[in-house]
A and B are shown apart, each in its own frame.
Chain A
């Protein structure tokens, strides 16, 4: 009975908690940028008119200085053109505005856009455009579906700020996008983006060619590779090397840089990374607020975008890659931003030491494997034979093949008074390493010898070997002696 009462009380309490929780959240009003604009009832006929001037990538149209919406005319022409995909490799790209990606469009939140898509008469196919910034059937795809030699106009209100992909959406959609029909449209938030010194436009995409990467001539589309999502090319701005070498993006040390980065796909998600720099702010997936700080690699989905910005602190070449590295190394996904200016060693020195590196114990594993194969030596000849192998693999790099050492760096073993004077000490050194000054044959050495991690058996062999080679003559070292050495 008492138990039941406890259950009942707990249930009532839980009920209160749940009620309170829902009561609390339901009191918050749902709100959005887009709903506010959609409901603002401005007179579209009275908006000031302007037309957007298109610039090719990697250029970005200038920031919008208007403080209120406008009626913006945008005309974009579709052209099917043969362009260089890589040196000596051509491909028939289908383009918006003749470039891959198509020109970056820049409007402001609340603008009313009259969008005209022109399909050049020499084209063979119908095309259209889906702007991810559009609320409406197909993002405008339905309103812009156009036969060759014709043009279509539709209008839309930019309700949501952010960086959006646009692309062709005519069947087969993946092929139209894979052939280059993608670009970015920036809808600037009302308050604009923070002012920066330089802005660039970069867009990743894949090309599925019949020929392998680098195979010369006019390449055609490979449907099988496309369906398998196994492109021969993954590129920035429409061609291998479009933004490297003399075409690199350039900015000065001390400048702030913003990049509008899109991924046309059609298949792959990009792991966008800038080698040698860190993104100070990332507007993840092209949203209108920088929600991430201090980012190394940011994911850009196919049909998605991101805005990154950062300040150039030191000179150098910042390399843009898809950090899925085979795409960068073997398929072309490399770009470059040249940072020009004076070095600042307080931030980065460049190389300050250039020296020879002689690794220790590099062949440890093969040796121990060899030891496992051969039974442990029991006689002197066996010790000498095994010792030579251990010596060559672990000791000769520093002490040299004939045990003569390197003056000033590595002490000699040949006719070494230090080695031969104390058998127990030499076992200890090989077993545990040695640090600090020693004097060998009258010369002082200050190097470090690391513990090599050799087995007791190997130590017995190698010490027997060095104590009886290079003009040395001494007692053999036994496994028991090594084992007893602490």
Chain B
């Protein structure tokens, strides 16, 4: 009887159905660091279980018409903004549960704000995604290496150790401080911005074998805040305040 209660409790507990997953406080060891730079403490946080979908984004656009594709100023998004959408308030047929992509950092940021949330930082994303675990490395590398990613409904991927889904194998995700990746255009050191890569990277990298991480940081570095890309989406997080569930 007691077991059944526990089982029922687990089944109907908010955690299982939650659109958010609690991320405990964790230590993030930077992939690249300057001398004296310390490990970061991340969390505790609530992280969206899956990336933001077209359907969710549609309700945001209805509320904030200034971000619809016909109205968006070119300062905030490049010309490919929401290019999969046939018009302002219609996403492609059958794609309601697809992750929304071709959204610029500005707009992703505004979306999260509108939900009372924010974009995760690099450190938070790296911890939440468990992307640097050796078991995932080669799987992630394979996905990064294959062009023309096919989009699909969110939530189909198996959950990672925190219960988060589709952090790999579906889309890239915006992070709040993407531009702090400060990877120079030349990934082998000697850049004016004090490159972290190749020659420089080998000196500063936690582990020069983290190829998938190199690629993720390279990708983030190649972006500017108004860029959109057909496999770049996002998810939001919010801080978990002490004493607040």
Hey, which bits of chain A sit against chain B, CB under 8 A? 79-81, 92, 120-126, 128, 130, 137-139, 141-150, 169-173, 175, 179, 220-221, 223, 227
* Alpha-carbon separation in the docked complex, A221 to B214 (Å): 15
- Mark B197-218 against chain A: 1 for CB-CB distance below 8 A, else 0: 1100100000001010011011
Q: Judge whether A145 and B186 touch: CB under 8 Å.
A: yes
* Alpha-carbon separation in the docked complex, A123 to B144 (Å): 10
Q: A124-B231, A223-B209 are in contact. Are A142 and B186 (CB under 8 A)?
A: yes
| B141 cross-chain contacts in A, Cβ below 8 A | 220-221, 223
- Total A-B contacts with CB atoms under 8 angstroms apart: 120
Q: Judge whether A142 and B184 touch: CB under 8 Å.
A: yes
Q: B145 contacts which of A139, A171, A221 (Cβ < 8 Å)?
A: A221
Q: Judge whether B80 and A121 touch: CB under 8 Å.
A: yes
Distance in Å from the Cβ of A174 to the closest Cβ of chain B?
A: 9
| B219 cross-chain contacts in A, Cβ below 8 A | 125-126, 147
- B230 interface residue (CB < 8 Å to A): yes
Q: Judge whether B147 and A80 touch: CB under 8 Å.
A: yes
Distance in Å from the Cβ of B162 to the closest Cβ of chain A?
A: 24
- B187 interface residue (CB < 8 Å to A): yes
- B148 interface residue (CB < 8 Å to A): yes
Q: Judge whether B191 and A138 touch: CB under 8 Å.
A: yes
- B183 interface residue (CB < 8 Å to A): yes
- B138 interface residue (CB < 8 Å to A): yes
| B227 cross-chain contacts in A, Cβ below 8 A | 147, 149-150
Interface of chain A, main secondary structure: loop
Q: Judge whether B230 and A121 touch: CB under 8 Å.
A: yes
Q: Judge whether B149 and A124 touch: CB under 8 Å.
A: yes
| A146 cross-chain contacts in B, Cβ below 8 A | 222
Q: Which A-B residue pairs are the 5 nearest by beta carbons? A: A138-B186, A145-B185, A126-B222, A80-B147, A142-B185
Q: Judge whether A172 and B184 touch: CB under 8 Å.
A: no
- B188 interface residue (CB < 8 Å to A): yes
Interface of chain B, main secondary structure: loop
| A120 cross-chain contacts in B, Cβ below 8 A | 147
* Alpha-carbon separation in the docked complex, A170 to B215 (Å): 8
Q: A149-B228, A223-B138 are in contact. Are A169 and B211 (CB under 8 A)?
A: no
Distance in Å from the Cβ of B194 to the closest Cβ of chain A?
A: 13
- B229 interface residue (CB < 8 Å to A): yes
* Alpha-carbon separation in the docked complex, A223 to B229 (Å): 27
* Alpha-carbon separation in the docked complex, A137 to B187 (Å): 11
Q: Judge whether A128 and B147 touch: CB under 8 Å.
A: no
- B29 interface residue (CB < 8 Å to A): no
Q: Judge whether A173 and B187 touch: CB under 8 Å.
A: yes
| B37 cross-chain contacts in A, Cβ below 8 A | none
Chain B residue, CB-CB nearest to A176: B187
Q: Judge whether A170 and B138 touch: CB under 8 Å.
A: no
Q: Judge whether A126 and B145 touch: CB under 8 Å.
A: no
Chain A residue, CB-CB nearest to B138: A223
Q: Judge whether A149 and B80 touch: CB under 8 Å.
A: yes
| A149 cross-chain contacts in B, Cβ below 8 A | 80, 227-230
* Alpha-carbon separation in the docked complex, A142 to B191 (Å): 8
Chain A residue, CB-CB nearest to B191: A142
| B149 cross-chain contacts in A, Cβ below 8 A | 124
- B146 interface residue (CB < 8 Å to A): yes
Q: A122-B148, A137-B191 are in contact. Are A143 and B185 (CB under 8 A)?
A: yes
* Alpha-carbon separation in the docked complex, A146 to B223 (Å): 8
- 23 residue pairs of the A-B complex, CB under 8 angstroms, read A79-B147, A92-B145, A92-B146, A92-B147, A121-B229, A122-B230, A124-B231, A125-B215, A125-B219, A126-B218, A138-B186, A143-B185, A145-B185, A147-B219, A147-B229, A149-B230, A150-B227, A169-B187, A170-B222, A171-B183, A171-B215, A173-B197, A221-B145
* Alpha-carbon separation in the docked complex, A150 to B198 (Å): 24
Max count, chain B CB within 10 A of own CB: residue among A138, A147, A227: A147
Distance in Å from the Cβ of B155 to the closest Cβ of chain A?
A: 21
Q: Judge whether A170 and B229 touch: CB under 8 Å.
A: no
Distance in Å from the Cβ of B200 to the closest Cβ of chain A?
A: 10
Q: Judge whether B214 and A172 touch: CB under 8 Å.
A: yes
Q: Judge whether B188 and A138 touch: CB under 8 Å.
A: yes
| B148 cross-chain contacts in A, Cβ below 8 A | 80, 122, 124
Q: A130 contacts which of B80, B142, B147, B186 (Cβ < 8 Å)?
A: B186
* Alpha-carbon separation in the docked complex, A138 to B184 (Å): 10
* Alpha-carbon separation in the docked complex, A139 to B142 (Å): 29
- B190 interface residue (CB < 8 Å to A): yes
Q: Judge whether A171 and B214 touch: CB under 8 Å.
A: yes
Q: Judge whether B147 and A169 touch: CB under 8 Å.
A: no
- B221 interface residue (CB < 8 Å to A): yes
Q: Judge whether B229 and A148 touch: CB under 8 Å.
A: yes
* Alpha-carbon separation in the docked complex, A125 to B218 (Å): 8
Q: A125-B218, A147-B219, A149-B80 are in contact. Are A179 and B186 (CB under 8 A)?
A: no
Chain B residue, CB-CB nearest to A149: B229
* Alpha-carbon separation in the docked complex, A147 to B78 (Å): 12
- Mark B115-153 against chain A: 1 for CB-CB distance below 8 A, else 0: 000000000000000000000001001101111110000
Q: B201 contacts which of A80, A123, A139, A171 (Cβ < 8 Å)?
A: A171
* Alpha-carbon separation in the docked complex, A172 to B191 (Å): 16
Q: Judge whether B80 and A141 touch: CB under 8 Å.
A: no
Given A150-B78, A170-B222, 7 other A-B residues pairs in contact with their CB atoms under 8 A = A92-B146, A124-B148, A124-B149, A138-B191, A147-B219, A147-B229, A172-B214
* Alpha-carbon separation in the docked complex, A123 to B219 (Å): 11
* Alpha-carbon separation in the docked complex, A125 to B184 (Å): 15
Distance in Å from the Cβ of A77 to the closest Cβ of chain B?
A: 13
| B138 cross-chain contacts in A, Cβ below 8 A | 223
Chain B residue, CB-CB nearest to A137: B186
Q: A124-B146, A126-B219, A147-B227 are in contact. Are A171 and B209 (CB under 8 A)?
A: no
Q: A171 contacts which of B80, B172, B187 (Cβ < 8 Å)?
A: B187
Q: Judge whether B211 and A172 touch: CB under 8 Å.
A: yes
Distance in Å from the Cβ of A85 to the closest Cβ of chain B?
A: 14
Q: A125 contacts which of B144, B186, B197 (Cβ < 8 Å)?
A: B144
Q: B222 contacts which of A122, A145, A175, A179 (Cβ < 8 Å)?
A: A145
Q: Judge whether B229 and A171 touch: CB under 8 Å.
A: no
| A145 cross-chain contacts in B, Cβ below 8 A | 184-186, 221-222
| B221 cross-chain contacts in A, Cβ below 8 A | 126, 145
Chain B residue, CB-CB nearest to A141: B186
Distance in Å from the Cβ of A147 to the closest Cβ of chain B?
A: 4
Chain B residue, CB-CB nearest to A175: B211
| A142 cross-chain contacts in B, Cβ below 8 A | 184-186, 191
Distance in Å from the Cβ of A265 to the closest Cβ of chain B?
A: 14
| B228 cross-chain contacts in A, Cβ below 8 A | 149
Q: Judge whether A223 and B211 touch: CB under 8 Å.
A: yes
